[in-house]
Structure 1
Amino acid sequence: MLSIGIVKETGSGERRVAITPDLVPRLRAAGLTVLVEAGAGAAARFPDGAYAQAGAEIVDDVRTRADVLACVGRPPADRLRAGQLVVGLLHADPAYVADLTARGVIAADLDRVPRTISAAQPMDARTSQENVAGYRAAILAACTYERFFPLLVTAAGTARPAQVLVLGAGVAGLSAIGTARRLGAVVTGYDIRPQARAEIASLGANVLDLTAHGGDGEGGYARALTEDEQRAERDELGRHVARHDVLITTALVPGRRPPLLVDEAAVKEMRPGSVIVDLAGGNVEATRPGETYVTENGVTVIDATGLPATMPAAASTAYAHNVCAFLTHVLRDGALALDPGDEIQRAVIVTGIVPRIVTGGAA
């Protein structure tokens, strides 16, 4: 019988867990023995006792015993063994892939789940975590902004609603737009992709239209703009940024660095007390990696690249369903069936995908 190990995450600030206790019975019903590393879910408020009550075995080290490892961040390659399947958000760059390949490890990178295949949607961990991140970004902005988000009319006077600009209308951007709207702000959204503008409007937000060229890319993502197109886009955006109290940026291009949308000059034109939440960690020139700070002109700039980990219970619950959906897809009668002809597996499994059946005790 195959065994699955739930790893205790060790990354800085990482509080999520790959499988929550409520899904242990589902994994056992699929023919897996469930091993949970002691304390794996503690940071997300899932105690060892909840896993044990659900039928899991609590162990000190799952890596040496499990045939399948479920994780959030990528584990060190030197702690994995040949024949093991590791499933997670691996951000599998060429060097990591080469290391895993040399060690005979089978790696499934849930970052690569194809969004355009309907059968893959339950496995789409990137979407589930971006949804959490967008929500959290709006909440963080509201908490940091030292005025009200909604319009308030009181005996002490009237407080105008916050003006919020969200750049990028993918999953995270739309989540941020919807949340900021529910908090009462006046929200404007922008995306280089023409079809995204209808989605912005559907949430009741204003749509910022620029003269920049369309940026449709593959798989529903934006394409990378040329240097000239980026410069023109920044120049236009700069004239709008200063009119807003809160700026949330979420723009990503797969396989590339986040596009620079807002330069230093635009930040200097923002009003004192304004807030920037850079969810992409590179859309704003003033962003400092891993830092929150206040500029000389009184603008708070937040690098918010790790937001899902700050909401670990909700993020873990969603992510665990993604992991389970993927495992259910690759399990056949309690054994792991890898099939290079399966388009989902072909996209997600980055090492070791050859036709094979793994029944347990991989070494």
Structure 2
Amino acid sequence: MALRIAALKERAPGENRVALTPETAKKFAALGAVVAVEEGAGLAAAITDQAYRDAGAEVLTAQQAVAEADIVLGVQAPELMALAGAKPGAWVAATFDPFRNGELVAAYAKGGFEALSMEFMPRITRAQSMDVLSSQSNLAGYKAVLTAANVYGRAFPMMMTAAGTIQAAKVFVMGVGVAGLQAIATAKRLGAQVSATDVRSATKEQIQSLGAKPIFVEDVAGIEGEGSGGYATEMSEEYQKAQAELVSGHIAKQDIVITTALIPGRPAPRLISDAQIASMKPGSVIFDLAVAQGSNVEGSKPDEVIEKHGVKIVGYSNTAGHLAADASALFARNLFNFLSAFWDKEAGKPVLDEEIGDAVRLTQGGKVVNERLTTA
């Protein structure tokens, strides 16, 4: 019997993405899988049911789509009740936010499902095409700058007119991971004067390569390379104090600040205090990309425009979801690249290896098995 892959409509508030596109449905079918999708699953991402049918997928009710499924795909992991009818031991490949959703992970274990957390994809060369955090962060960095530009009441580029010159906006990006690099590149394309900082000193060259000015603490050692898994780690108190002083002086001169700092398994670090906000010019804008993970900015709230000391603070709980069509296309390709990389033609299904399989697998055989969770 052919492997059955199902994708459901996302039910989390504000989630417009979908984990399967007609492109990837067609590719899964070419591998020999039967593909089913819940009716209306792609509408928020500008994908019609007919487009799925044309790609060879079955368009069914949620219950019918999941019935006898071997693999269920999701952007955000579905609640357990949505998986009723799936095969015992079925895989669910999605984002789980495992450190904050322990109860959901435990429920998956108890339900006998194999939860595959796409956030835990190791940052190694062969897994780059499977990395949903990178693909979604890239779009989030882009959208953050566009949103800030929309909220900001002035132009980004320098403009020389008969009535006089408009100076370029000053944009400061805090955190130079995938989202930060894209934010720098986007702000530069819009004509802003861009600067950026990070706790990893190795990012200086990346900042300069995009034409931005690096802002770094010079007299206290930072992280020379990457932290675990390519992420930054927490810094010493001495470095944090020196960085806060440097950043405070720089922030006061900025028009736009984009914060992108996240630490896996921990609340987002506080980068901007109320006092620093008060030092900024009226009309300035801060976009907090970490607002849903604890926030980088004091007083920021998800999906609200907050005004403090004349400064507008913005942040979306799901920034990539505001670019649903492109975000879905990239997310779906990540999932296909993941599963197809391990496809065993004789078995007619994917067979995960230890390096990647053990990294992303949260539950198996009725237990939570991921070492990052069992040792947390």
Shorter-chain TM-score category?
over 0.9
Q: Which residue number in structure 1 is paired with residue 27 of structure 2?
A: 26
How does 1:177-216 map onto structure 2 within 5 Å? 177-211=184-218, 212-215=220-223, 216=226
Structure 1 SS opposite 2:205: helix
How does 1:82-161 map onto structure 2 within 5 Å? 82-93=88-99, 94-115=102-123, 117-161=124-168
Q: Which residue number in structure 1 is paired with residue 310 of structure 2?
A: 298
Q: Distance in 1 between matches of 2:252 and 2:55?
A: 53
Contact 1:267 1:286 survives alignment (8 Å): no
Measured after TM superposition, the shift of residue 353 of structure 1 is 7.6
- Count of residue pairs the alignment pairs up: 351
Q: Distance in 2 between matches of 1:187 and 1:318?
A: 27
How does 1:205-354 map onto structure 2 within 5 Å? 205-211=212-218, 212-215=220-223, 216-227=226-237, 229-281=239-291, 282-295=295-308, 297-333=309-345, 335-339=348-352, 341-352=353-364
Amino acid at match of 2:98: A
Amino acid at match of 1:189: A
Q: Distance in 2 between matches of 1:149 and 1:31?
A: 50
How does the TM-score come out when normalised to structure 2? Answer: 0.89
Deviates more, 1:93-102 or 1:184-193: 93-102
Q: Distance in 2 between matches of 1:50 and 1:119?
A: 31
1:169 aligned to 2:176?
yes
Structure 2 SS opposite 1:289: coil
Structure 2 SS opposite 1:300: strand
Contact 2:173 2:180 survives alignment (8 Å): yes
Q: Distance in 2 between matches of 1:45 and 1:288?
A: 28
Measured after TM superposition, the shift of residue 118 of structure 1 is 1.2
Q: Sequence identity of aligned pairs in percent? A: 40
Q: Distance in 2 between matches of 1:43 and 1:289?
A: 20
Deviates more, 1:35-44 or 1:24-33: 24-33
Q: Distance in 2 between matches of 1:244 and 1:303?
A: 18
Distance 1:353 1:317, change over 3 A: farther
Measured after TM superposition, the shift of residue 199 of structure 1 is 0.5
Q: Which residue number in structure 1 is paired with residue 370 of structure 2?
A: none
1:64 aligned to 2:70?
no
C-alpha RMSD of the superposition: 1.7
Q: Deviations over 1:314-350 (max 9, x none)?
A: 11111111000111123212533444x5201111111
Q: Distance in 1 between matches of 2:350 and 2:157?
A: 53
Q: Distance in 1 between matches of 2:278 and 2:204?
A: 28
Measured after TM superposition, the shift of residue 7 of structure 1 is 1.1
Q: Distance in 1 between matches of 2:18 and 2:198?
A: 32
Contact 1:168 1:189 survives alignment (8 Å): yes
Q: Distance in 2 between matches of 1:236 and 1:283?
A: 17
Q: Which residue number in structure 2 is paired with residue 361 of structure 1?
A: none
Q: Which residue number in structure 2 is paired with residue 359 of structure 1?
A: none
1:44 aligned to 2:45?
yes
Measured after TM superposition, the shift of residue 227 of structure 1 is 4.7
Contact 2:109 2:365 survives alignment (8 Å): no
Distance 1:352 1:132, change over 3 A: same
